[in-house]
Amino acid sequence: MRKINVFDTTLRDGEQTPGVNLNFEEKLEIAKQLERLGVDIIEAGFPASSPGDFESVKAIADAVQESSVTGLARCTAKDIETAWKALKGSVEPRIHVFLATSPVHMDYKLKLSPDQVVESAVEAVKLAAKKFTHVQFSAEDANRSDWAFLARIIEATIDAGASVINLPDTVGFTTPEEITRLFKYVRNNVPNIDQAILSTHNHDDLGMGVANSLAAIEAGAGQVECTVNGIGERAGNASLEEIAVALEIRSDYYKAKTGLKLNELKRTSSLVSRLTNMSVPGNKAVVGANAFAHESGIHQDGMLKNKETYEIITPELVGATSSSPLGKHSGRHAFKTKLAELGFTGSQEQLQSVFTAFKDLADKKKEVTEDDLFALMADATFEADEVASYELTGLQVNYGTMNIPTATITINLPTGEQLQEAATGSGSVEAIYNTVERIVEGSCALKDYRIQSVSGGRDALAEVFVKVEIEGSEQAGRGTAPDVLEASAKAYLNAVNRYYSRSRYLQAQQPIKKEVNI
């Protein structure tokens, strides 16, 4: 049974999802959960892209002990040196350098000849190998590259010190049959290929990211690159949880497994979903809310007789079953223990914030579930890095079918002052947002609004996700509360606070463009 290394790029490629902006605390929280999950390699970010990315990569590299941490770098001395400064404190310093190899990229983007591309790649790998324990070289857009040229640059970079060679389907163009032939070609035509691990990284533009990843594994890949919930730019990346469970359930076919703790998959998915403001579709394989639901009478009959009739994956396998809920009589010790089980690694201040919110919620509903706790944890993490602080202190909404909806809101301003405003709207939520926009600085406009319940039942927490355009820039926000309207107000203010928090970095530097296709 071959061991397949899992290279998670949720914090780098996944964060390139439009509208996703993770702050320092959120990245660290996700990294610690990935470590709990058993991910082999965590790509923490792109250190040279900005001081903010540098600091978050460094913090993750210093904090994570059970996984290898890597950072992305272009084939330049400056990027490699910056990555070393961020990653040198990790338990296994590792770097991921890349350079495009397809004709369209070399001609139009790089404006380099094939010989120049090989020379640049070799020089970069040699420099990186002097510092890092492991050097990964990615041939960007490998699947649209000339295969003979690909074999040439792979051989050269392995000779230069690369221990991992990644062949990414950067634009999600290939098919399982094509990627199988590519990996077999590389294995048969690169003389020193036995000195490196072959890695696969597939985007999902044609909906074949997971299928292509499994095909590459079948064809000899020893490492698979993926993201939690398949997030990423455009149509996203191959889904970590789907690949891991496919290898587990069909180990008879693939003869390969990961070292992941599969019962942490659901928790990891939920955490990433909430911190990125990206809901998991109900019909999502492995971690969707309906993944283990059976509506058909025939299916239900079969399940009652033998679960194997219609269930190839058990909820227990991926951690989709909840343990005993907490209640208003649960003490601080039981609460702290439960949060530790869920992977919470926040500060004492954040722990106190979550505990206070838990006690308040427990007074309003009989049982507080794991999903509720995840929502409260996410709230604390969302607020941890906010510089500006518009705080909701009062909300009153008047609504009636014969009246004009009116919202009156009291907010504590960043200056310490308190301001109260009122406005109307065509509905209660619009009235709230019209009022908020009168209070906060800058030009604000709602671009997207989504609401869902955190768990089932009449007393379920409401969870609201918004995208707000502030001074021409989109910012995501999230809010939870027992009341839908309160959650809506909190989500909008959260987006505003996060925008001003993020602005402190943009005012201090001019970072390079982070959106890197690999």
* Same domain flag for 267 and 197: yes
Residue 281 lies in a domain: no
Q: Please count the residues of the chain.
A: 518
Let me know whether 336 and 473 are in one domain. Answer: no
In a domain, 19, yes or no: yes
Q: What is the tally of structural domains in the chain?
A: 4
Residue 25 has pLDDT above 70, yes or no: yes
Domain-located, residue 515: no
Contact 67, 40 (CB under 8 A): yes
Residue of 225, 153, 161, 215 whose CA lies nearest to 183: 215
pLDDT of res. 300: 44
**135 and 156 share a domain?**
yes
Residue 517 lies in a domain: no
pLDDT number for residue 306: 56
Task: Decide: 40 and 244 in contact? Cβ < 8 Å.
Answer: no
Residue 282 lies in a domain: no
Quickly list DSSP for 249-306.
HTHHHH-EE----GGGHHHHHHHHHHHHT-PPPTT-TTTSTTTT---SHHHHHHHHH-
| Spatial distance between the Cα atoms of 417 and 252, rounded to a whole number of angstroms | 65
Residues 32 and 85 placed together within one structural domain of the fold = yes
Q: Which domain holds residue 336?
A: 332-381
Are residues 315 and 255 part of one domain? no
Q: Which of 276, 343, 376 is nearest to 23 (CA)?
A: 276
Same structural domain, 272 and 349: no
- How many Cβ atoms sit within 10 Å of the Cβ of residue 306? 9
For the cut 70, the answer to whether the pLDDT of residue 388 exceeds it is no
Q: Which residue has the higher pLDDT, 465 or 442?
A: 465
Q: Are residues 98 and 230 in the same domain?
A: yes
Kindly state whether residues 496 and 419 are assigned to the same domain. Answer: yes
pLDDT value at residue 518: 75
Instruction: Tell whether the model's pLDDT for residue 324 goes beyond 70.
Output: no
H-helix or E-strand spanning residue 123: helix 114-129
CA angle in degrees (0–180, nearest 5) for 194-196-200: 115
CATH code of the domain covering residue 21: 3.20.20.70
- Whether 311 and 452 map to the same domain: the answer is no
Beta strand pairing call for 164-169 and 444-453: unpaired
**Would you state the pLDDT for residue 86?**
98
Q: Is residue 159 part of a domain?
A: yes
pLDDT tens-digit map of 137-163: 999 999 999 999 999 999 999 999 999
- Could you tell me how many helices (H) and strands (E) the chain has, helices first? 18, 16
The larger pLDDT score, comparing residue 429 to residue 378, is at 429
Same domain, 54 and 178: yes
Q: Are residues 248 and 105 in the same domain?
A: yes
Q: Is residue 12 part of a domain?
A: yes
E strand map for 413-500: 418-424, 444-453, 462-470, 473-481
Q: Parallel, antiparallel, or unpaired for β 223-226 and 197-202? A: parallel
Tokens of 168: 């990414």
Same domain, 122 and 184: yes
Angle value at C-alpha 52, between 47 and 57, nearest 5 degrees: 45
DSSP string, 57-86: HHHHHHH--SSEEEEEEESSHHHHHHHHHH
Considering the domain boundaries, does residue 218 fall inside one? yes
Which CATH number is 402's domain given?
Answer: 3.30.160.270
pLDDT at 52: 87
pTM for the full model?
A: 0.86
How would residue 322 be classed by pLDDT, with cut points 50, 70 and 90? low
Single out the residue of 21, 132, 30 nearest to residue 85, CA to CA: 132
Q: Which of 53-57, 109-113, 269-273, 302-306 has the lowest mean pLDDT?
A: 302-306
